[in-house]
């Protein structure tokens, strides 16, 4: 065969090979992951969902009477990841034992016993039970003095207590609860305070929060007499507990004259109001 014939045969063979390499009728190789989605890509996995809350401290924790702590809340995802909960809410089911700020999660142990707290966030809820221990000392304390007590009446039947107290020069005092009795008003639940008064210091327990009072109460009708009573329970720095009863008067008044955003809320104020 001549050289021209050989070159012609080689060209024909190369053309046939090229045609086979671009033949669209040949099926593509099977994907290694067995995907049947268009283009061979893997289907998108579902994002993790929130399945529960992790609250610290949790059920079974015991705290001392008069102590204060803050709940921390994390959302637990279906992939076992944990993320902080944004703006959880808190409700103490026994505020006479554990007073909890509904927004900040700051809790004050104001009475011995067990307290359940409902915690909500990220669309789920958890219940934790905290035990407040009995006082460390069985002695009776006289370390707190009520210097003055009155009720400011504003509106037809709303009252803001004004209670000024002092701690003994020898020990600090943590105010636990304030119980008020006002003739003609319905039963007033105890107000959990958890505020600390330093040794030798005095303080007004009820202050101004965003132009309002830290706490107030009322009824459908005004008080029937001008003889309100308050009982302040407390625990001192030695672990001894005590209570002081004081009688006061009702005076006409109104809202606070300042608007500090909570800077003057008093020792019973533990952050934003629910």
pLDDT at 45: 76
- CATH number of the CATH domain containing 205: 2.60.40
Same domain membership, residue 238 and residue 218: yes
Same domain, 116 and 167: no
Per-residue pLDDT of the chain (274 residues; tens, 9 = 90+): 444 444 444 444 444 444 444 444 444 444 444 444 555 555 567 888 999 999 999 999 999 999 999 999 999 999 989 999 999 999 999 999 999 999 999 999 999 999 999 999 999 999 999 999 999 887 899 999 999 999 999 989 999 999 999 999 999 999 999 999 999 999 999 999 999 999 999 999 999 999 999 999 998 999 999 999 999 999 999 999 999 999 999 999 999 998 987 789 999 999 877 6
- List the structure tokens of 199: 């040794």
Residues 117 and 59 in one domain: yes
Q: Is residue 156 one of the residues assigned to a domain? A: yes
CATH number, domain containing residue 61: 2.60.40.1080
| 18 in a structural domain | no
Residue 75: the pLDDT is 96
| Domain annotation covers residue 36 | no
What pTM was computed for the model?
Answer: 0.79
pLDDT at 104: 95
* Full residue range of the structural domain in which residue 184 is found: 144-252
CA–CA separation, 250 vs 223, rounded Å?
9
Q: According to the model, what pLDDT value does residue 40 have?
A: 53
132, 153, 185 — which closes off a domain?
132
Determine, yes or no, domain membership for 195: yes
Residue-by-residue DSSP string for the chain: --HHHHHHHHHHHHHHHHHHHT-TTSPPPPPTT---SGGGPPPPPPPP-EEEEEEES-TT-EE-TT-EEE-EEEEEETTS-EEEPSS-EEEES-TTTEEE-TTT-EEEE-SSEEEEEEEEETTEEEEEEEEEPPPS--SBP--EEEEEEEEEEETTTEEEEEEEEEE-TTS-EEEEEEEEE-TTSPP---EEEEEEE-TT-EEESS-EETTEES--EE-SS--SSS--EEEEEEEETTS-EEEEEEE-EEEE--S-S---SSTB--TT--SS--
- For residues 87 and 167, membership in a common domain is answered with no
Angle at 237 between CA 233 and CA 241, to 5 degrees: 30
Residues 115 and 95 in one domain: yes
């Amino acid at each position: 065969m001549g050289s021209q014939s050989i070159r012609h045969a080689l060209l024909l063979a190369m053309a046939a090979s090229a045609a086979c390499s671009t033949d669209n009728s040949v099926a593509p190789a099977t994907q290694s992951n067995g995907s049947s989605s268009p283009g061979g890509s893997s289907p998108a996995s579902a994002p993790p969902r929130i399945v529960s809350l992790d609250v610290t401290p949790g059920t079974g924790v015991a705290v001392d009477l008069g102590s204060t702590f803050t709940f921390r809340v994390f959302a637990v995802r279906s992939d076992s990841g944990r993320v902080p909960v944004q703006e959880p809410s808190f409700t103490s089911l026994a505020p006479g034992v554990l007073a909890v700020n509904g927004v900040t999660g700051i809790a004050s142990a104001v009475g011995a016993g067990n307290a359940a707290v409902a915690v909500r966030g990220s669309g789920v809820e958890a219940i934790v039970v905290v035990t407040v221990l009995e006082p460390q000392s069985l002695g009776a304390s006289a370390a707190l003095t009520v210097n003055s007590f009155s009720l400011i009446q504003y509106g037809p039947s709303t009252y803001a207590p004004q209670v000024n107290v002092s701690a003994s020069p020898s020990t600090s005092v943590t105010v636990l609860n304030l119980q008020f009795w006002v003739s003609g008003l319905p039963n007033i639940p105890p107000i959990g305070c958890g505020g600390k008064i330093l040794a030798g210091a005095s303080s007004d327990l009820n202050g101004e929060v965003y132009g309002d009072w830290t706490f107030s109460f009322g009824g459908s009708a005004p008080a029937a007499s001008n003889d309100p009573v308050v009982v302040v329970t407390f625990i001192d720095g030695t672990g001894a507990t005590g209570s002081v009863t004081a009688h006061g008067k009702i005076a006409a008044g109104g809202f606070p004259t300042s608007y500090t955003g909570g800077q003057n809320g008093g020792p019973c104020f533990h952050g934003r109001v629910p």
